[in-house]
Amino acid sequence: MKKNIREIFKLVVSTVKPLFILEMANNHMGDVGHGLKIIREFHKITKKFDFHFAFKFQYRNIDTFIHPEYKNRMDIKYVKRFSETRLSPSEFLSLKKEAESLGYISICTPFDEESVDLIEKHNYSVIKVGSCSFADWPLLERIIKVDKPVVLSTGGASLQDIDNVVSFFHHRKKKFAIMHCVGEYPTVAENLQLNQITFFKNRYADVVVGFSTHEDPDDFVPVQLAVAKGAQIFERHVAIKTKKYDINAYSSLPSQVESWLVAAQRAIKIGGVVEERVDHSKKEMVDIRQFKRGVFAKRSFKKGELIKTEDVFFAFPNQLGQLVANQISKYKYYYAKKAIKKNGVIKDVRLDDTREEVYAIVKRIDKLFKKSGVVFPNRVDLEISHHYGLDKFDKYGICMVTCVNRGYCKKLIIMFPGQLHPEQYHRKKEETFHVLYGKFIVWLNDKKHIFLPGDVVVIEPTVRHRFTTVNGGILEEISSTHFVNDSFYIDEKISLNKNRKTHVRYWRNVV
């Protein structure tokens, strides 16, 4: 094989390519020549597709698997089936080698502990656990000792069993995948329960989820739905029909597998990009642009003048090169490069985009919180105060997370090294600072104080206060209700700056 199976299985896990498993089961009919023919006939089909493919076999030690008193009970369907399709270990090994020589990943399902021994001896690449063995703990305890990735089918398993098995494999740091499977042979469409794929992906977010299928071989909608739901491994039984051997109702012929793969290929193509935002086509962008509202002047603007949102209006249609409503935000400041008349088109502008600066601050906050170990709510409203403008934020400014603001108020105040919060006072609010992290220097009515983690300082109404930190820090502020118009800065320039605050919705551990 061109790639080590560990690498291939890792690729499958990361959704680069799906893995399609062709399950031979007992369809070799105990005839190694027929088994070889199955592998070769399906290779003519699978070589046309750019997927990962595996051929899967089943091992049972018939001599010990079937109870001694039932060995000759040919009236029992599967005693008869297993007995009549017996292959020797050397014959199975010849099938495995043929599959691998054609580029297939070799997979085998053991139904007893002795078969796991043989799988190890034959060096299969992956072990498959059938639905009937899903919570067979003696068998799982033997399988877990083998250093190979494992795929497990969940047909008939309770949620508790699945939780337990997933936990069992996780704790032992095994590479594994689980397959949604309905153990009806064949499975009628209304019993396929494909939403279980979504359920598994949500419940076991770090586990690869696949679909082991037994529906009508001519029904190709289920594989497309499974693709759309995020399944990454697909399995179905395969066989070929000859004058000597017929096939069962849930096994697929080569032509049916080709149609199955074409259906999956189409679903993958239609589904498109996974786990990241898609790059849009030029045609899509042009087609959507034509319906966007253009930005027009409510009044005339001089060259170099800041174009404020309150001085523009939005209307259809827009013109080529014109600003559109989607380009207007609190982070973007546009300046006219030349005079613009009232009702005129807003274009030929200079842009000052502060979004990157703002989100760079958010990342710094996230880093400081992680360093400090201070815990805060998952989703909060973050206020970035840049009293004299963003360009002076590192000298003058703070960041505040409002946890609650009712009859009482709690905030977290974040400061970076060397920042100063300018002097101010409150007429209504009384506040208490509790130092959670860092060293703070606080001036109360011009009197200097040093506060360390654990220290508490009460600031009564009308007390002028300013503060800074040398190496960065976090304060917990607990106060009476905060009123927007109850902060009075000594420097009137700050109060006159209407753009001195930026508000951001902050998601913890998402930045």
Mean pLDDT to the nearest integer, 393-404: 92
Q: What is the helix, strand, coil percentage profile of the chain, to 5?
A: 30, 30, 40
Helices then strands, counting H and E runs in the chain, come out as 14, 25
CB 444 within 8 A of CB 392: no
Q: What are the pLDDT digits (tens) for 226-271?
A: 999 999 999 999 999 999 999 999 999 999 999 999 999 999 999 9
89-101 vs 113-122: helix crossing angle, rounded to 10: 50
- Whether 507 has a pLDDT exceeding 80, the answer reads no
Mean pLDDT to the nearest integer, 345-351: 95
Residues 159 and 3: their CA atoms lie apart, in Å, by 35
Mean pLDDT to the nearest integer, 473-490: 92
The pLDDT value recorded for residue 7 is: 55
Mean pLDDT to the nearest integer, 95-123: 97
* CA distance between the termini of the chain: 41
Is 331 exposed, middle or buried (CB count within 10 Å of its CB: 0-12, 13-18, 19+)?
middle
Q: Are strands 150-153 and 332-336 parallel, antiparallel or unpaired?
A: unpaired
Please state the pTM of the whole predicted model: 0.68
User: Residue 342 CA to chain centroid, in angstroms?
Assistant: 49
Helices (H), ranges, 172-323: 195-203, 221-228, 254-271, 282-289
Mean pLDDT to the nearest integer, 265-291: 90
| Mean of the per-residue pLDDT values of the chain | 92
209 token code pair: 């989820």
Q: Per-residue confidence at 35, pLDDT binned at 50, 70, 90?
A: very high
Domains of the chain: 5-271 (3.20.20.70), 282-353 (3.90.1210.10), 356-507 (2.60.120.10)
Cα dihedral 312, 317, 321, 324, rounded to 10, equals 50
- Min mean pLDDT across 25-29, 216-220, 403-407 is at 403-407
Report the percentage of the chain scoring pLDDT > 90. Answer: 77
What one-character DSSP code corresponds to residue 51? Answer: S
Mean pLDDT to the nearest integer, 325-332: 88
- Whether 112 has a pLDDT exceeding 90, the answer reads yes
Mean pLDDT to the nearest integer, 33-58: 97
- Min mean pLDDT across 361-370, 452-461, 469-478 is at 361-370
The pLDDT value recorded for residue 14 is: 47
- Min mean pLDDT across 1-10, 148-157, 230-239, 297-306 is at 1-10
- Ramachandran area for residue 29 (φ above 0: left; ψ -120 to 50: alpha; else beta): left
Q: Per-residue confidence at 12, pLDDT binned at 50, 70, 90?
A: very low
The pLDDT value recorded for residue 277 is: 83
- Whether 195 has a pLDDT exceeding 60, the answer reads yes
- Whether 452 has a pLDDT exceeding 50, the answer reads yes
Q: Per-residue confidence at 16, pLDDT binned at 50, 70, 90?
A: low
Q: Per-residue confidence at 147, pLDDT binned at 50, 70, 90?
A: very high
The pLDDT value recorded for residue 489 is: 95
Amino acid at 129: V
CA distances from 371 to 217, 363, 399, 474 (A): 57, 12, 16, 11
- Catalogue the E-assigned strands of 366-428: 379-385, 398-405, 408-415, 420-425
Task: Indicate the helix (H) or strand (E) that contains 184.
Answer: none
- Min mean pLDDT across 65-69, 259-263, 300-304, 320-324 is at 65-69
Mean pLDDT to the nearest integer, 344-359: 89
- Whether 274 has a pLDDT exceeding 90, the answer reads no
Mean pLDDT to the nearest integer, 325-335: 89
